[in-house]
Structure 1
């Protein structure tokens, strides 16, 4: 069923993308509310999530659900994990770096992942046992072998998050050794970009399941290496992600971990 599940995930992500494109054209009229400092939800998020949830419920009525805006329902042994609009702040500000993220988790393992970037017409997709793709063509991580030319992505904590100082220390350790660090504001899309070779690596602490679920499948099936803060830690459980091509991973992870 994984091939059919991937096909379904692609379809619903792209449909949600069309809904979001409609709101994007009229975004200055959107109603948005604060969930916490620096964290917003808009009519666009809610409309996209309602559509994805309804479509998946109709196609897979026995499956469970975990959505950023509506929480958990149904069984957890097989459930869809969805961020209807990753990068809401970018969206509301007119910054074209945002995406739809749809993943399927089966018995604790994420087996399908789709990240769709509507404004760029790009769909990053993967399932276990098959190559990760970008618009149907196989994709692989960058071949960057040393830190000096490498470009990394991250997410910088905001508001009252407790680990701002830790992240500042990470950046201070890494910056002298690489070509740069980008903070673009949509973790799902950033992970997809590592899988596609646009970024050489990514790290961030304490992300939510809907932020990373699809991206983890993309990374693993593209051939990237993914770990948590410790090598044996599962990012889907801890929310902390360190990802890079295998040839670069050890050097990158040592710096990030302060080893």
Structure 2
């Protein structure tokens, strides 16, 4: 059923993206809630998530749900949808056109479908198990960069009172002298998709939430990128920490990030 599930996720991601764009054009009037330092939720997030939840409940009534804004909802089956209706909320609220809808399906503990939709650029990254990752239907793959010196990496910098700010600063201090640059663009789902599409050579971040990375992990794996946690045995979908790059670059990159 994964092909039908992928088609459904793409359709719903576009619907949610249309909702976001309606609010984007009138964002000066949005009601905003401050969850913690650097973390916001708006009417746009909530309306998009309610739409996605209602549509998935109607289309897949036996499936469970995990959404960033509305939390978890159990169901009778072994399938769960993992949704971030607006990844990059701060960008959205500030008028920076870099945000996305992220939808993933997990079946019996395995991520099987992933969609990351950028409604500003009308770019939809998608993948399902046993098929290649795609951008607007066209197959994608990681960059062929094999050395650190010309490589461009992405990351997410902790904010507020997060405990691992110093660890991340140390990561950057080790990596920056050896590569072409590091970008912090503010939407982890898109960062992961950009590695899959070869726009970034690699990405790392600690302690992300399931809805931040679930869809991106499917897209990365099906593109051929190498994906690990802070050790080779760690699963990012369980730990929330992810290191990814093309296979030929991964060892050198991960060695620096892990401080090996």
Please state how far the C-alpha of 1:74 moved relative to its aligned partner: 1.6
Match of 1:250 in 2: 251
Measure, in 2, the Cα distance between the counterparts of 1:32 and 1:160.
20
Measure, in 2, the Cα distance between the counterparts of 1:162 and 1:3.
40
Measure, in 2, the Cα distance between the counterparts of 1:167 and 1:74.
35
Match of 2:230 in 1: 229
Give the 3-state SS of the residue equivalent to 2:120 in structure 1. helix
Measure, in 1, the Cα distance between the counterparts of 2:118 and 2:15.
11
Match of 2:27 in 1: 27
Q: Is 1:220 the equivalent of 2:226?
A: no
Measure, in 1, the Cα distance between the counterparts of 2:235 and 2:125.
22
Measure, in 1, the Cα distance between the counterparts of 2:104 and 2:216.
9
Match of 2:110 in 1: 109
Match of 1:155 in 2: 156
Measure, in 1, the Cα distance between the counterparts of 2:78 and 2:214.
15
Q: Once the two structures are superposed, what CA deviation does each residue of 1:198-248 show, in whole Å capped at 9, x if it has no partner?
A: 000000000000000000000000000000001100000000000000000
Alignment of 1:108-147 (within 5 A): 108-147=109-148
Please state how far the C-alpha of 1:77 moved relative to its aligned partner: 2.4
Give the 3-state SS of the residue equivalent to 1:123 in structure 2. strand
Please state how far the C-alpha of 1:168 moved relative to its aligned partner: 0.1
Measure, in 1, the Cα distance between the counterparts of 2:70 and 2:39.
15
Measure, in 2, the Cα distance between the counterparts of 1:156 and 1:88.
15
Measure, in 1, the Cα distance between the counterparts of 2:200 and 2:69.
28
Match of 1:49 in 2: 49
* Coordinate RMSD, CA, aligned: 0.6
TM-score, L = length of structure 1 = 0.99
Match of 1:176 in 2: 177
**Structure 1 residues not aligned, in runs of 5+:** none
TM-score, L = length of structure 2 = 0.99
Q: Is 1:61 the equivalent of 2:86?
A: no
Match of 2:97 in 1: 96
Measure, in 2, the Cα distance between the counterparts of 1:77 and 1:109.
10
Measure, in 1, the Cα distance between the counterparts of 2:136 and 2:29.
32
**Structure 2 residues not aligned, in runs of 5+:** none
Measure, in 1, the Cα distance between the counterparts of 2:27 and 2:233.
43
Q: Once the two structures are superposed, what CA deviation does each residue of 1:13-50 show, in whole Å capped at 9, x if it has no partner?
A: 01000000000000011011111110000000000001
Give the 3-state SS of the residue equivalent to 2:3 in structure 1. helix
Measure, in 2, the Cα distance between the counterparts of 1:58 and 1:189.
28
Give the 3-state SS of the residue equivalent to 1:120 in structure 2. coil
Q: Once the two structures are superposed, what CA deviation does each residue of 1:118-145 show, in whole Å capped at 9, x if it has no partner?
A: 0001000000000000000000000000
Please state how far the C-alpha of 1:195 moved relative to its aligned partner: 0.4
Match of 1:205 in 2: 206
